């Protein structure tokens, strides 16, 4: 008897030792979220590189070093200490990191470093500072031109230029909340992200002017002043008056501005501004308010005269030009235009020297038509999309792109021969790749991750894809108790289309158990949630929830990006409807899994995903027990003109669509626990959405929960993000577990 007891004791001891040996760590929200103060714990290691002509430079905090593209050998260009010495820093270092050093001149040993409102240029061969420039400290929207060393910037909504010698010129003087210069316009839609455009020779500056005097302010409240105050937040709502944009060309030499003679700017979008290589012409894509016609126009940059319409594209739903044209570096008469006119985003070669086809063209059986006023040749084609056009390999006369040719959820690198469209894979055939090309495109850095590679950074030759590996990161999760993350596809509600999902199983998954399951959803255009990168793009919060015993499911429904025009625009004029049908196919799939607890299904999403979350809660009240919706759209009439009308038209033109897509008429269906969270100062999905929903719930006698982050906008950052996810987690813990 005693012997048995001893044996049992030893056995238990043994088990406990095994347990200790195998014990893995658990992530906190601070480890897993970008805003967390220990976020580095959970992210793969990386290095920073930039290009100096055809030479790759590794920039780290302490130094800049060239990398030999064959051996990978580093050779120090200069150290942080040297840099500070050249800048005559004395005891207090002027520069604290070399990370963001630039090498703008391919053939000169010059580095440019920006610190706050100062910019320094050093000659690292001579070991001295060559030049510096200081702009006013209240400047914003800074755009520096390496060609002329001039810099454009914004002060109080006026546009200024400072030349290389430090002379400042005010280009405009009537800037205000109503009239805004040199900033991004059209709410960053149509690929617009800035408002100044230097000509290649640096002698002219194209810039946006936006008159938004006719656009009402959404009343945003600042509670940090002694007595709360409002601040200006122009917000053009769908169907209402929108701003008017014009484009000026400033010549620093003459100090004169000409305006592009584009006609009445009312209800028009001026997008994708670019320059001809000779700095004499400005190209612009012009879209009508209905967003069903895009015209590529050319203007004389010296006079502002309209010279020609080169191309027109129409679609009965919408067109959406997102990319400026890019001239071939070796032929000033040819450029690349991106269009999804055949159903997928592809490259088209335009030849200014040759005439186009007569009349309107179209593809049999497809919507949309176009008119080519110059010769157009399709360079890429197929049921996949060009995700990014990185630039040109000048020597081999090819374009370098990333595309999902190999799989809808991958992004691989290809060189595309301009002469014949021949496509060559560069880098491996897995994962999701990002490219940065050298000046002439002979080399590129290929940064990628895949489900099996946390991060890999390589220097490759564009001609043959050969090269070296700079870093292959260890799995930063190896000491942690992490969930299994899988990826797969199901059929969309149309029965035909493949939809990709990610599933994050609870840590310590036991297939004989039933787990509370949360659908995380976005579902809107311009985004995807599932791809073949690290962890299939899983978000930190999913890991956190898996640690807590939840199963997470994420599905990219029709309406999301990278799958072609038909996939996306099936939602036209009734946002939410098709998207939900697809998500319910995901739910059907989940219900077929024995370890998914049908009675404990939750849903969570932010922004468009907040809209989807509430919509799913109201449309399928018996399916979802708990939902957390962040910064949601509640009624598209409260969303802005540019994005909103593209998908929904104007409320006055599509009243049934708006009514059918609105969450307000559905509040009476609310059954489960729903919490809505927003940034109190959200300038994107303005609080009127959420507050109108609360009011409708109150009027319908429905209880809904709410939280707001004063001072935060559409998203939460830093510790607010951690607080937010603690909150979201707690809600599921309280009501779904």
What lies within 8 Å, CB to CB, of 648 at 6+ separation is 238, 573, 575, 636, 654, 657, 658, 661
Which one among 316, 588, 711, 717 touches a second copy, defined by CB under 8 A?
A: 711
CA 22/CA 15 separation, integer angstroms = 10
Q: Kindly tell me which of 296 and 686 has the beta carbon lying closer to a second copy.
A: 686
User: Considering 582, 649, 682, 712, which one is annotated as catalytic?
Assistant: 682
By CB under 8 A, tell whether 720 contacts a second copy.
yes
Q: Kindly tell me which of 173 and 703 has the beta carbon lying closer to a second copy.
A: 703
CA 154/CA 138 separation, integer angstroms = 8
Q: Alpha helix (H) ranges present in 239-333?
A: none
607 carries an active-site annotation: yes
CA 220/CA 681 separation, integer angstroms = 6
By CB under 8 A, tell whether 722 contacts a second copy.
yes
Choose the binding region for a second copy from 166-174, 312-320, 427-435, 715-723 (rule: CB under 8 A).
Answer: 715-723
Of 513, 524, 388, 499, the C-alpha closest to 444 is 388
Write out the two tokens for 705.
């929960």
Classify residue 555 as exposed, middle or buried by CB count within 10 Å of its CB (0-12, 13-18, 19+): buried
Q: Kindly tell me which of 166 and 710 has the beta carbon lying closer to a second copy.
A: 710
In the region spanning residues 187 to 226, those forming contacts with a second copy, defined by CB under 8 A, are: 216, 218-219, 221, 223, 226
By CB under 8 A, tell whether 686 contacts a second copy.
yes
User: Considering 139, 211, 526, 714, which one is annotated as catalytic?
Assistant: 714
Cα 415 versus chain centre, distance: 23
The minimum distance between CB 703 and a second copy, in angstroms, equals 6
Q: Kindly tell me which of 263 and 710 has the beta carbon lying closer to a second copy.
A: 710
Q: Between helices 718-735 and 540-547, what is the axis angle to 10°?
A: 40
Bridge partners of residue 292, in order along the sequence: none
682 carries an active-site annotation: yes
Write out the two tokens for 476.
């930063």
By CB under 8 A, tell whether 230 contacts a second copy.
yes
CA 535/CA 449 separation, integer angstroms = 9
User: Considering 398, 607, 661, 662, which one is annotated as catalytic?
Assistant: 607
In the region spanning residues 334 to 373, those forming contacts with a second copy, defined by CB under 8 A, are: none
Write out the two tokens for 286.
């012009």
Choose the binding region for a second copy from 322-330, 348-356, 612-620, 692-700 (rule: CB under 8 A).
Answer: 692-700
Choose the binding region for a second copy from 100-108, 312-320, 423-431, 688-696 (rule: CB under 8 A).
Answer: 688-696
The minimum distance between CB 258 and a second copy, in angstroms, equals 35
Q: Kindly tell me which of 422 and 695 has the beta carbon lying closer to a second copy.
A: 695
Q: How many CB atoms lie within 10 A of CB 542?
A: 25
CA 674/CA 703 separation, integer angstroms = 8
Write out the two tokens for 651.
């409320």
Which one among 198, 299, 639, 709 touches a second copy, defined by CB under 8 A?
A: 709
By CB under 8 A, tell whether 89 contacts a second copy.
no
The minimum distance between CB 587 and a second copy, in angstroms, equals 27
Task: Name residue, tokens 């626990």.
Answer: 673
By CB under 8 A, tell whether 324 contacts a second copy.
no
Which one among 706, 714, 715, 733 touches a second copy, defined by CB under 8 A?
A: 706
Bridge partners of residue 480, in order along the sequence: 25
The minimum distance between CB 178 and a second copy, in angstroms, equals 16
Q: Is 587 helix (H, G, I), strand (E, B) or coil?
A: helix
CA 57/CA 67 separation, integer angstroms = 6
What lies within 8 Å, CB to CB, of 461 at 6+ separation is 69, 442, 443, 467
Q: Which residues bind a second copy (CB under 8 A)?
A: 216, 218-219, 221, 223, 226-230, 235, 237, 240, 638, 680, 686-688, 691-692, 694-695, 698-699, 701, 703, 705-711, 719-720, 722-723, 726-727, 730, 734
Residues catalogued as catalytic: 607, 682, 714
């Amino acid at each position: 008897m005693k012997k048995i007891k001893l044996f049992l004791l030893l056995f238990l001891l043994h088990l406990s030792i095994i347990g200790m040996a195998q014990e893995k760590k658990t992530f906190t929200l601070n480890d897993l979220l970008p805003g967390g103060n220990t976020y580095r714990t959970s992210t793969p290691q990386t290095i920073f590189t930039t290009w100096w002509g055809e030479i790759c430079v590794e920039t780290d905090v302490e130094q800049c070093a060239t990398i030999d593209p064959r051996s990978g050998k580093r050779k120090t260009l200069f150290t942080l200490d040297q840099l500070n010495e050249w800048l005559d820093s004395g005891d207090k270092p002027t520069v604290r990191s070399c990370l963001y050093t630039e090498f703008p001149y391919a053939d000169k040993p010059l580095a440019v470093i920006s610190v706050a409102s100062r910019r320094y240029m050093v000659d690292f061969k001579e070991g001295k500072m060559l030049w510096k420039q200081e702009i006013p400290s209240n400047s914003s929207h800074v755009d520096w031109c390496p060609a002329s060393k001039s810099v454009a910037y914004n002060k109080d909504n006026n546009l200024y230029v400072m030349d290389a010698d430090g002379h400042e010129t005010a280009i405009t003087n009537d800037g205000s909340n109503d009239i805004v210069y040199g900033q991004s316009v059209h709410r960053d839609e149509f690929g617009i992200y800035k408002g100044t455009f230097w000509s290649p020779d640096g002698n002219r500056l194209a810039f946006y002017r936006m008159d938004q005097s006719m656009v009402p302010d959404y009343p945003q409240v600042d509670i940090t002043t002694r007595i709360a105050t409002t601040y200006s937040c122009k917000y053009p709502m769908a169907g209402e008056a929108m701003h008017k944009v014009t484009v000026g060309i400033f010549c620093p030499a003459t100090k004169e501005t000409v305006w592009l003679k584009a006609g009445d700017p009312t209800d028009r979008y001026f997008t994708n501004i670019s320059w001809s290589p000779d700095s004499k012409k400005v190209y612009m894509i012009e879209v009508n308010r209905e967003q069903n016609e895009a015209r590529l126009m050319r203007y004389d940059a010296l006079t502002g005269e309209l010279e020609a319409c080169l191309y027109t594209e129409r679609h009965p739903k919408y067109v959406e030009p997102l990319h400026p044209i890019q001239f071939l570096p070796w032929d000033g008469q040819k450029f690349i235009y991106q269009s999804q006119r055949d159903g997928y985003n592809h490259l088209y070669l335009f030849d200014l020297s040759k005439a186009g086809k007569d009349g309107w063209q179209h593809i049999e059986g497809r919507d949309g038509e176009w008119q080519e006023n110059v010769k157009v040749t399709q360079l890429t084609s197929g049921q996949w999309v060009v995700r990014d056009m990185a630039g040109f390999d000048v020597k081999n006369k090819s374009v370098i792109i990333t595309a999902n040719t190999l799989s809808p959820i991958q992004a691989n690198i290809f060189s595309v021969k301009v002469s014949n469209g021949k496509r060559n894979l560069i880098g491996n055939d897995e994962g999701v790749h990002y490219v940065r090309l050298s000046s002439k495109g002979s080399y590129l850095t290929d940064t990628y991750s895949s489900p099996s590679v946390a991060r890999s950074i390589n220097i490759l030759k564009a001609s043959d894809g050969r090269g070296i590996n700079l870093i292959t990161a260890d799995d930063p999760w190896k000491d942690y108790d992490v969930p299994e993350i899988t990826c797969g596809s199901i059929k969309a509600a149309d029965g035909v289309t493949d939809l990709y999902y990610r599933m994050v199983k609870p840590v310590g998954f036991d297939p004989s158990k039933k787990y509370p399951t949360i659908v995380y959803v976005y579902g809107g255009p311009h985004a995807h949630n599932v791809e073949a990168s690290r962890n299939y793009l899983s978000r930190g919060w999913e890991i956190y929830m898996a640690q807590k015993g939840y199963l997470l499911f994420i599905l990219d429904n029709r309406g999301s990006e990278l799958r072609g025009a038909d996939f996306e625009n099936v939602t036209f004029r009734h946002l939410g409807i098709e998207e939900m049908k697809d998500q319910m196919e995901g739910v059907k799939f989940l219900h077929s899994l024995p370890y998914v607890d049908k009675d404990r299904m939750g849903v969570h999403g932010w922004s468009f995903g907040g809209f989807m979350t509430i919509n799913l809660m109201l449309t399928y009240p018996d399916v979802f027990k708990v939902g957390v919706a962040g910064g949601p759209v509640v009624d598209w009439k409260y969303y802005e003109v540019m994005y909103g009308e593209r998908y929904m038209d104007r409320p006055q033109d599509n009243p049934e669509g708006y009514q059918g897509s609105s969450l307000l008429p559905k509040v009476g269906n609310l059954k489960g626990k729903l919490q809505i969270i927003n940034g109190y100062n959200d300038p994107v999905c303005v609080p009127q959405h959420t507050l109108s929903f609360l009011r409708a719930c109150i009027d319908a006698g429905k209880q809904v929960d709410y939280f707001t982050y004063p001072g935060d906008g559409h998203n939460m950052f830093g510790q607010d993000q951690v607080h937010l996810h603690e909150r979201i987690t707690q809600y599921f813990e309280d009501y779904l577990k």
